[in-house]
Amino acid sequence: MAEKLLSDRERFLKLIVVSANGCWEWQLSPDKDGYGLISVGSDTDGSARRMRAQRFAYEEFVGPIPEGMETDHLCRNRICVNPAHLEAVSAKENRRRIPKSANCPHGHALSGDNLYVDPRGNRQCRECRRQAILALRSRIGKEAVNNYQREWERKKRRKKSA
């Protein structure tokens, strides 16, 4: 039987670089969601599989992840696999934790008058919305946008009165 040169844990430790803020940054290319992947187990006993590197880290250094739980990054760095930066939480809790960031992706402050919370609870940037409308206006013309907005307002009113 061919012996493995390195254990999964040894290989794992060779694939990280510790960043200044203590994150263990995974060096292999991430999956489509931005998370690191590791191949573990062996073909010999049929245990070979690919898994999220952060799950491996958690199970290897902390303990088993309970059924249905996800590993949440306390550092918000998806490629980080530092078990100290990971916490096993329910999927529901993980979604609830999506950071209420201070700025929109374009750097406008998400606070005060600029913050708009839509009916589904998503935090929206009014400035970005304003700019999106301006951009739309220059593309399809002011009149078309005004018509569109009027139509939208009408629909909203109709819904309310219904």
DSSP assignment of 89-125, as one string? EEHHHHHHTS---SB-TTS-B-SGGGEEE-TTS-EEE
Q: How far is the CB of 96 from Zn ion (least distance, A)?
A: 20
Closer of 46 and 105 to Zn ion (Cβ): 105
Contacts of 48 (CB under 8 A, 6+ apart): 39, 40, 41, 42
Q: How far is the CB of 107 from Zn ion (least distance, A)?
A: 7
CB atoms within 10 A of CB 103: 12
Q: How far is the CB of 78 from Zn ion (least distance, A)?
A: 9
Q: Are 74 and 87 in contact (CB under 8 A)?
A: yes
Q: Interface with Zn ion by CB under 5 A: which range of 27-35, 64-72, 84-92, 153-161?
A: 84-92
Report the residue from 75, 115, 136, 145 that binds Zn ion according to the rule CB under 5 A.
75
- Please report whether residue 80 would count as binding Zn ion according to CB under 5 A: yes
- Please report whether residue 115 would count as binding Zn ion according to CB under 5 A: no
**In whole angstroms, what is the distance from residue 7 CA to residue 10 CA?**
5
For residue 10, which amino acid is it? E
Closer of 40 and 77 to Zn ion (Cβ): 77
- Please report whether residue 85 would count as binding Zn ion according to CB under 5 A: yes
Question: Where does this chain bind Zn ion (CB under 5 A)?
Answer: 23, 75, 77, 80, 82, 85, 104, 106, 108, 125, 127-128
